[in-house]
Amino acid sequence: MHGTESPSPWVQRWAHLAPPQSQVLDLACGAGRHMKYLQGLGHHCIGVDRSAEALAEAASFGQTLAADLEGGPWPLSGQTFDLVVVTNYLWRPLMPRILVSLAPQGLLIYETFALGHEKIGKPSRPDFLLKPGELLRCFEPLRVIAYEDGYCEQPAKFVQRMVAVNQVNDLARPFCLGSR
């Protein structure tokens, strides 16, 4: 089942930037692998997915919400989060919603498949693969902390990854990328 594997090393690498006891949104959370990891760090998680079976697993790691992110209304209108996590999921019409879901100083950790991946596995349809620099363009208002676009060997995949902070009208809390 999606979401039962280990947490993404990208999420693990950058989660320390979220303030203690953050309100976390995990989109397309599957069985909650990132919710489990982030709850273990003391955060309060809400996971959204359309699979009732996956959400039954994720429920032990925080609040869950069954929603069709691609065909239904946005289930979290008016809510903002200190951390939004998206991995292995791409639905372009959702990107503006993700942006407005970030609280001031909110952190976005995003990682999904990119063009090139169609040569080595699924997903292979362009609808589910980011174009070069697409995450940078979609989340341009955010301050980018880290970004990668290319091939990874373990496991073999083409990805784009981004960590960015919502510093709109708020430069009071600079980020330091020193030791954890």
Kindly report, residue by residue over 144-159, the tens digit of the pLDDT.
999 988 777 777 777 8
Angle at 21 between CA 105 and CA 52, to 5 degrees: 100
Q: What is the pLDDT of residue 1?
A: 52
- Position 129 in a domain: yes
Bigger pLDDT: 32 or 160?
32
- Position 75 in a domain: yes
- Position 127 in a domain: yes
Amino acid at 60: S
Structurally, the chain folds into a number of domains equal to 1
- Position 170 in a domain: no
135's enclosing H/E stretch is: helix 134-138
- Position 174 in a domain: no
HEC assignment per residue over 21-51:
CCEEEEECCCCCHHHHHHHHCCCEEEEEECC
- Position 62 in a domain: yes
Task: Look at residue 122 and tell me whether its pLDDT is greater than 90.
Answer: no
**Domain of 14: which CATH number?**
3.40.50.150
**Secondary structure class of 10 (helix, strand, coil):** helix
- Position 179 in a domain: no
pTM greater than 0.95 (yes/no): no
CA separation (Å) from 71 to 75, 93, 101?
Answer: 11, 10, 19
Task: Look at residue 139 and tell me whether its pLDDT is greater than 80.
Answer: yes
- Host domain of residue 93: 9-165
Helices (H) and strands (E) in the chain, counts: 5, 7
Q: What is the mean pLDDT of residues 15-25?
A: 97
